[in-house]
Amino acid sequence: MVHRPADSRLLTNLLSHEKDYTKHLLSLLDYSHASLSSFTAYAAASSPPASQVILSVAGHLSSADDALRRYAASIDQWREMMKNLKALEDEVGNIMRDREILVTRLIKASKSHKPPNNRESLLSHQRYPSSSSLSVQDSPSPSPGTGPAPGTYAPGLNTSSKLAAAQAELQACEAHLATKEQELTARRNSTIKDGLTIRCTAMAECG
């Protein structure tokens, strides 16, 4: 399976600018609220029908600000969804870095693994014949010094176990990575679909 490296720099850049956008939008709403309050106060000093017209327009402007405030809230919701997506992208990136480490470890283990020497294999076979060539009833008791010395091991056994362990670790990492990549793809699709639907719906309410 070909793995595409996870690069969250573009997503990080998007989140940064969306944060600035929300900040300035909320600042605009604060100025709009102050302006609307002054506009309403001016109506009190005006005589009818001018005061009635001003108050009516002020009500519509207030409704527009409320819709814009809901749009700002939708951007915050969209940003939160994208933050969760970035967290998953970072997790996949960490798994891929682990995979590279395991691949390097497996390569080293495969290079250090060597088949047993033919002469050593023959001597081992002559010293320890197979159980099929011995009678269970007539097998002699082992004499002192016949068995392997304490602390010794068969040639290549340690490197073989390291190679098998490296292979198992890499296979487990590959399976975990494949699962997370599928999860990331599904999360990305649902986040973009649901997040933009929420944001565009709030924008449509602004008129």
| pLDDT of res. 169 | 94
| pLDDT of res. 156 | 54
Q: Say which range, 69-73, 94-98, 159-163, 179-183, has the weakest mean pLDDT.
A: 159-163
**Phi, psi torsion values for 154, nearest 5 degrees:** -70, 145
Helical segments of 2-153, H only: 9-44, 50-112, 118-127
How many angstroms separate the Cα of 144 from the Cα of each of 26, 54, 148, 149? 89, 112, 10, 10
- At 159-177, the pLDDT tens digits run 788 889 999 999 999 999 9
Cis peptide, bond prior to residue 49, ω within 30 of zero: yes
Q: Which residue has the higher pLDDT, 95 or 118?
A: 95
Report whether pLDDT(128) > 50.
no
Query: Please, which pLDDT band fits residue 200 given cuts at 50, 70 and 90?
Result: very high
Mean pLDDT for the chain? 82
The packing angle between helices 157-205 and 50-112, to 10°, is 170
The packing angle between helices 9-44 and 50-112, to 10°, is 170
| pLDDT of res. 46 | 86
How many angstroms separate the Cα of 117 from the Cα of each of 75, 110, 128, 173? 69, 17, 16, 33
Report whether pLDDT(138) > 50.
no
End-to-end CA distance of the chain: 48
- At 17-52, the pLDDT tens digits run 999 999 999 999 999 999 999 999 998 888 889 999
* Measured torsion, CA atoms of residues 153, 156, 158, 160, in degrees rounded to the nearest 10: -140
User: d(Cα 105, Cα 103) in Å, to the nearest integer?
Assistant: 5
